[in-house]
C-alpha cells in the first residue's frame, strides 16, 4: 500500500485521539475523575468505551491472521471473546459496581479485609496489564511497518507516546470519550473495505468458497494437540473477560448496578457486531494472500488485502482506512490497560496517592511493556492476548465469583488461590514467551494453561477457605449485603408543571370510537 496514505492515516488517528481526549481533560480535576470518571458514565457511552478498549490488536488483526493460518477452528476466539460478557452480565457486573471500589485490589481488600490479598491482586493486575499491552505495541509496529516501511519499533513508540499523554492528562474521563469514538472508527474501518472486497471476490467468480476456510495452509490446528488447545482457548476466553482489569474497572464508572447491567447488554451487541467482520478478512486472505501464512506474517492479512484485491488509488485509500482502524484498536486498548495499571501502581506501589502520583504511574505503566515488546516479537498477537486471558481466568475469576457469591471465602483462601492459579499461569506464559518447551504435551500445557490453572485456582481457594473457616472477616455479612442489596427504584420523573408523568391521564387517540 502507499506509504503516504498509511502515514497520513496514522497521523490522523493519533491527532484525533489527542483532540477527543482533550475534551475530557477540560472536566478532569479530581481523583474520582481520573480513576472512575466520577461514576457518572451512562450505559450507551460506557458500552461503546468498553467495546472500544476490548477490541484490541487481537481482534482487529489477530483473528483474521489465525483464520488465515489455521482455518475455521480459530472462530472460537471471537465466540469466546463475546461470550465472556454473558458471565459478566449474569454474575459480576452489578455486584462489582455496588462494591464502590476503584480497582480490583480495592475490591479484594474491601471484601476480605486483608492487605496481603490486596498486594497479591495488585501484582497480578500489573502483570496482566503489561502482558496485554505487549500485543498492542507489537501490532502497532507491524501495522506501521506494513503501511510505511518504518522500523518495527516505531509503531509501538507512537502508541506509547500518545497513550501516555492522553492518560496522564485526563485519566478515565478523557479515555472514556476516546474509546467510545474509537469503537465506531474501528467498526467503520473494517466494514467499509470488506464490502468492496466481497464485491471483488464475487466479481472474480467467488473463488475458494467455504472449502477455503477449512483447507490446510500451514499444517492446520494450533499445535500437536489441537483438541486440548481448543478447550484451553474456550476456558480462557469465557472466564478471562471478567478478570481483565481494564474491562472490570469500567464497571466502576457506572452510576449504579442497574446501569452496569444495561451497559453489559449493549456491549454484547456492539462486540458481537464487530466480530462478524475479522473472520471475513481471514477467509478472503486464504484465497488472495495465502503466502502470508507461509512467511510467518499472517497478522498483516487485514492490511494487505485491499492492495492485493483492488490495487491503485482505491486499494490505497481502503488500506489507509484499515491502517487507521488498526491504530485506533491499539490506542484504545492501550489507554484502558494503562488507566487500570496506573491506578494500581499509584495506589499500591508509589508512595503517595493523588493526581500527580497517577501521572507518574502512567509513565511506568507504559514504559515497562514498551521495553519488553521485542521479547515477544515472534508470537502472534492473538496468542499473546490469549495468554493474558488465561492468567485473568486463573486468578481474578475465582476471586470475583467466590468473593461475590460465597460468604465462606477467607483471606488465606483467596491469597492461596490467586497465587496457585495466577502464579502457575504466569509461569506458563513466561515459558511460552521464552520459547520453552517447543514440542509435545509440555509445549501444549504451557501454551494453553487455562485447562489446568483455572481448576487449580478454584480448588485451592475453596479448600484453603474451608480449612481456615475461623479467618472469615468480621465484616463479611455487611460486605455481602452491600454487594447484593436491592437498589432503590428511581423517583418518578415529573413534567415542568410538577405533575408526576406516570399519574397523568393520556389523551385518547383522536380516532378512537370512529
Round to whole Å and give the CA distance between 136 and 9.
18
In a domain, 284, yes or no: yes
Round to whole Å and give the CA distance between 201 and 193.
12
CA torsion 333-334-336-340 (nearest 10°) is 140
In a domain, 422, yes or no: no
* Domain range for 35: 3-374
In a domain, 278, yes or no: yes
- For residue 502, the surrounding DSSP H or E stretch is none
Round to whole Å and give the CA distance between 162 and 178.
12
Per-residue pLDDT of 264-278, as tens digits, reads 899 999 999 999 999
**Domain harbouring 27, CATH code:** 1.20.1730.10
The more confident residue out of 88 and 510 is 88
In a domain, 259, yes or no: yes
CA torsion 46-176-81-108 (nearest 10°) is -90
Q: Is 108 exposed, middle or buried (0-12, 13-18, 19+ CB in 10 A)?
A: buried
Give one word for 488, left, alpha or beta, with left for phi > 0 and alpha for psi -120 to 50. beta
Q: How many CB atoms lie within 10 A of CB 198?
A: 14
In a domain, 200, yes or no: yes
| pLDDT(2) > 60 | no
In a domain, 227, yes or no: yes
In a domain, 33, yes or no: yes
| pLDDT(295) > 90 | no
Per-residue pLDDT of 171-196, as tens digits, reads 777 788 888 999 999 999 999 999 99
Structural domain total, the chain? 1
Per-residue pLDDT of 350-391, as tens digits, reads 877 777 888 888 898 998 888 877 655 556 666 677 788 999
The more confident residue out of 505 and 203 is 203
In a domain, 51, yes or no: yes
Q: What is the pLDDT of residue 71?
A: 86
Q: What is the pLDDT of residue 216?
A: 54
Amino acid at each position: 500500500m502507499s506509504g503516504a496514505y498509511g502515514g497520513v492515516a496514522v497521523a490522523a488517528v493519533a491527532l484525533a485521539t489527542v483532540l477527543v481526549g482533550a475534551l475530557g481533560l477540560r472536566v478532569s480535576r479530581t481523583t474520582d475523575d481520573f480513576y472512575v470518571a466520577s461514576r457518572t458514565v451512562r450505559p450507551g457511552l460506557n458500552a461503546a468505551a468498553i467495546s472500544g478498549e476490548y477490541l484490541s490488536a487481537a481482534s482487529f488483526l489477530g483473528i483474521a491472521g489465525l483464520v488465515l493460518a489455521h482455518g475455521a477452528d480459530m472462530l472460537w476466539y471471537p465466540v469466546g471473546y463475546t461470550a465472556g460478557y454473558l458471565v459478566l452480565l449474569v454474575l459480576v457486573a452489578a455486584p462489582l459496581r455496588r462494591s464502590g471500589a476503584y480497582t480490583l485490589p480495592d475490591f479484594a481488600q474491601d471484601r476480605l479485609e486483608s492487605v496481603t490479598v490486596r498486594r497479591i491482586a495488585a501484582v497480578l493486575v500489573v502483570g496482566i496489564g503489561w502482558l496485554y499491552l505487549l500485543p498492542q505495541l507489537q501490532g502497532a509496529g507491524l501495522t506501521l511497518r506494513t503501511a510505511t516501511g518504518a522500523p518495527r519499533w516505531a509503531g509501538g513508540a507512537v502508541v506509547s507516546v500518545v497513550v501516555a499523554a492522553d492518560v496522564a492528562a485526563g485519566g478515565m474521563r478523557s479515555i472514556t470519550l476516546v474509546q467510545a469514538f474509537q469503537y465506531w472508527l474501528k467498526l467503520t474501518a473494517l466494514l467499509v473495505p470488506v464490502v468492496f472486497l466481497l464485491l471483488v471476490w464475487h466479481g472474480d467468480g467467488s473463488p475458494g468458497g467455504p472449502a477455503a476456510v477449512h483447507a490446510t495452509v500451514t499444517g492446520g490446528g494450533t499445535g500437536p494437540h489441537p483438541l486440548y488447545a481448543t478447550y484451553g482457548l474456550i476456558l480462557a476466553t469465557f472466564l478471562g473477560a471478567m478478570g481483565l482489569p481494564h474491562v472490570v474497572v469500567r464497571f466502576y464508572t457506572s452510576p449504579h448496578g442497574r446501569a452496569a447491567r444495561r451497559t453489559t447488554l449493549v456491549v454484547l451487541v456492539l462486540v458481537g457486531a464487530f466480530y462478524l467482520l475479522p473472520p471475513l478478512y481471514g477467509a478472503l486472505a486464504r484465497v488472495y494472500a495465502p503466502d502470508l501464512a507461509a512467511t510467518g506474517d499472517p497478522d498483516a492479512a487485514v492490511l494487505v488485502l485491499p492492495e492485493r484485491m483492488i490495487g491503485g488509488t482505491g486499494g490505497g485509500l481502503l488500506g489507509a482506512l484499515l491502517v487507521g482502524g488498526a491504530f485506533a484498536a491499539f490506542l484504545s486498548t492501550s489507554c484502558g490497560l494503562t488507566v487500570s495499571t496506573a491506578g494500581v501502581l499509584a495506589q499500591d506501589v508509589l508512595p503517595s496517592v493523588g493526581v500527580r502520583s497517577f501521572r507518574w504511574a502512567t509513565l511506568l505503566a507504559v514504559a515497562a511493556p514498551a521495553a519488553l515488546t521485542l521479547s515477544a516479537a515472534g508470537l502472534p498477537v492473538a496468542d499473546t492476548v490469549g495468554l493474558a486471558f488465561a492468567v485473568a481466568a486463573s486468578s481474578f475469576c475465582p476471586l470475583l465469583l467466590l468473593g461475590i457469591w460465597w460468604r465462606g471465602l477467607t483471606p488465606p483462601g483467596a491469597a492461596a488461590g490467586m497465587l496457585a492459579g495466577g502464579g502457575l499461569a504466569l509461569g506458563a506464559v513466561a515459558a511460552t514467551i521464552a520459547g520453552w518447551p517447543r514440542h509435545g504435551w509440555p509445549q501444549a500445557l504451557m501454551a494453553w494453561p487455562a485447562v489446568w490453572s483455572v481448576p487449580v485456582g478454584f480448588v485451592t481457594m475453596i479448600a484453603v477457605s474451608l480449612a481456615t473457616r475461623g479467618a472469615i472477616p468480621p465484616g463479611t455479612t455487611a460486605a455481602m449485603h452491600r454487594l447484593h442489596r436491592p437498589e432503590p427504584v428511581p423517583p418518578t420523573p415529573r413534567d415542568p408543571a410538577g405533575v408526576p408523568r406516570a399519574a397523568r391521564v393520556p389523551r385518547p387517540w383522536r380516532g378512537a370510537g370512529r
